[in-house]
């Protein structure tokens, strides 16, 4: 069974913002934005693996990330181009370091 990935026309701003609204999921997205595609186990968080599974699912089903399975590893990549096509500048704004001078 393959994982659900919404097409562009199935993505909604409220689901994307909801997915990005949780601190752990936002940290995951920041990591993917900096490092590119990576397998789930390489993303360091304080949450247990069972909790992380739910966070990955929310990010995938909202359209924020794309999942690819290679053997036993699940790789995730940020769908920046898709999100930028629908809502230009959204990820850049959300991911902006709030401590950086403007």
End-to-end CA distance of the chain: 46
Any idea where the domains of the chain sit in the sequence?
8-92
- Residue by residue, pLDDT tens for the chain (102 residues) are 467 889 998 999 999 999 999 999 999 999 999 999 998 888 878 788 888 889 999 999 999 999 998 998 889 999 999 999 999 999 999 988 665 545
The CATH number assigned to the domain with range 8-92 reads 1.10.10.10
Helix%, strand%, coil% for the chain, nearest 5? 55, 15, 35
């Amino acid at each position: 069974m393959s994982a659900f990935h919404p097409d562009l026309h199935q993505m909604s701003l409220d689901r994307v913002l909801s997915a990005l609204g949780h601190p752990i999921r936002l940290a995951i997205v920041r990591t993917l934005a900096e490092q590119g595609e990576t397998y789930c186990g390489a993303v360091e968080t304080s949450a247990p693996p069972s909790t992380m599974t739910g966070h990955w699912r929310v990010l995938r089903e909202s359209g924020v990330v794309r999942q690819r399975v290679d053997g036993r590893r699940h790789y995730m990549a940020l769908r920046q181009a898709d999100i930028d096509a629908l809502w230009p500048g959204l990820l850049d704004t959300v991911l902006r370091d709030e401590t950086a001078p403007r």
